[in-house]
Amino acid sequence: MTSTPRADLGLIGGSGFYEFFEAAERVSVTTPFGDPSDDLVIGEVDGRRVAFIARHGQGHRFPPHRVNYRANLWALRSVGVRQVLAPCAVGSLKPELGPGTIVVPDQVVDRTWGREHTVYAAEGPVVHVGFADPYCPRGRAVALESGKAADKPVADGGTLVVVNGPRFSSKAESAWHQQAGWTIVGMTGMPEASIARELAMCFTTVALVTDHDAGVDGGAAVTHEEVLAVFAKNVDGLKQVLRSALGSMPAAEPDDTATCACRRALDGITLPFELPG
């Protein structure tokens, strides 16, 4: 019987990232939460074992509020992934952060609703996981250095506010987000990041600004077509940063001796079931 291929790094993104792999294997994974968005694609990227999943599935068939974030993260962990890079497209809430800028946020605000936000069921021991610092410090440092090495405009830190979508924000909502001091706005960053923490996985968001959000600096409302056009124009630069980051991530540590705080998030907690991988 052929064993399932393993990977220690995970990449969650659009279907355009399949080209990272010169040779790869598609792996179907079953999870307690149903099917992930798509099969995993596992192979080597610059000598590192990487598992990729298309967040929205083939043909972008799942809108942000219908993505099975629990199944996606569970599937990645089940093949050994412990460090995840999660690129996403965002709108900017700051005039100085224009389209094409890459932001590596250090905080998140969750304004989503109706999504499955935890892998732990209501029955059984209560599982409270710390989330004060939502992103992996090691992953963030590598992503920032990779951006600088690629000579791309990269912003260090900031708050990503995640809205439910699939619609864009009203001008009033955008003004509220700006007044709160938040930096960028997107639709897919939560509960992706918090579920990764529940699974004791390192998680780093790398956000590509595609537009200024409605009303920022007097700008007009954005359209879906404009977002796609700007993303297409800048995605090669984002891929360059991500590929470099994958190659520069620290070596994977065994679960029982891992030193990153993300990997120790479940220490001392009684879990209702055993985690995969």
Strand pairing report for 9-13 and 40-45: unpaired
Asked if residue 127 has pLDDT above 90, the reply is yes
Mean pLDDT value of segment 109-135:
92
Instruction: Identify the pLDDT of residue 42.
Output: 96
Strand pairing report for 184-186 and 159-163: parallel
Residue 6 DSSP one-character state: -
How many Cα atoms within 13 Å fall on the side-chain side of residue 218? 0
Q: How far apart are CA 53 and CA 77, in angstroms?
A: 12
Q: Which of 190, 205, 191 is closest to 83 using CA atoms? A: 205
Mean pLDDT value of segment 141-160:
92
Give me the helix-helix angle, 224-248 and 137-149, nearest 10°: 100
Name the token pair of 204: 């780093």
Select which of 156, 211, 236, 255 is catalytic: 211
H/E element, 203: strand 202-212
Instruction: Identify the pLDDT of residue 231.
Output: 72
0.85 exceeded by pTM? yes
The residues spanned by each domain of the chain are 9-257
More confident of the two residues 163 and 237? 163
Point out the least confidently predicted range of 35-44, 110-119, 147-156, 195-204.
Answer: 147-156
Mean pLDDT value of segment 2-8:
86
- The burial class, CB within 10 Å (0-12 / 13-18 / 19+), for 123 is exposed
Asked if residue 17 has pLDDT above 90, the reply is no
Asked if residue 110 has pLDDT above 70, the reply is yes
Confidence of residue 84 (pLDDT cuts 50, 70, 90): very high
Instruction: Identify the pLDDT of residue 2.
Output: 60
Select which of 8, 35, 213, 267 is catalytic: 213
Q: Which of 64, 65, 61, 85 is closest to 73 using CA atoms? A: 85
Q: CA distances (Å), 173 to each of 90, 100, 178, 219, in order?
A: 15, 23, 9, 14
- Is there a contact between 162 and 186 (Cβ–Cβ < 8 Å)? yes
Asked if residue 247 has pLDDT above 60, the reply is yes
Q: Please provide the average confidence, as pLDDT, over all residues in the chain.
A: 91
* CB atoms closer than 10 angstroms to residue 171: 14
Asked if residue 1 has pLDDT above 50, the reply is no
Confidence of residue 218 (pLDDT cuts 50, 70, 90): low
Share of the chain above pLDDT 90, in %: 76
Instruction: Identify the pLDDT of residue 225.
Output: 75
pLDDT digits (tens, 9 = 90+) for 165-208: 999 999 999 999 999 999 999 999 999 999 999 999 999 999 99
Share of the chain above pLDDT 70, in %: 95
Q: How far apart are CA 129 and CA 131, in angstroms?
A: 6
- Distance from the first to the final alpha carbon of the chain: 18
Asked if residue 102 has pLDDT above 90, the reply is yes
Instruction: Identify the pLDDT of residue 262.
Output: 97
> Active site includes 211?
yes
Q: Which of 238, 186, 179 is closest to 211 using CA atoms? A: 186
Instruction: Identify the pLDDT of residue 121.
Output: 79
The domain over range 9-257 is classified in CATH as 3.40.50.1580 = yes
pLDDT digits (tens, 9 = 90+) for 148-157: 888 888 999 9
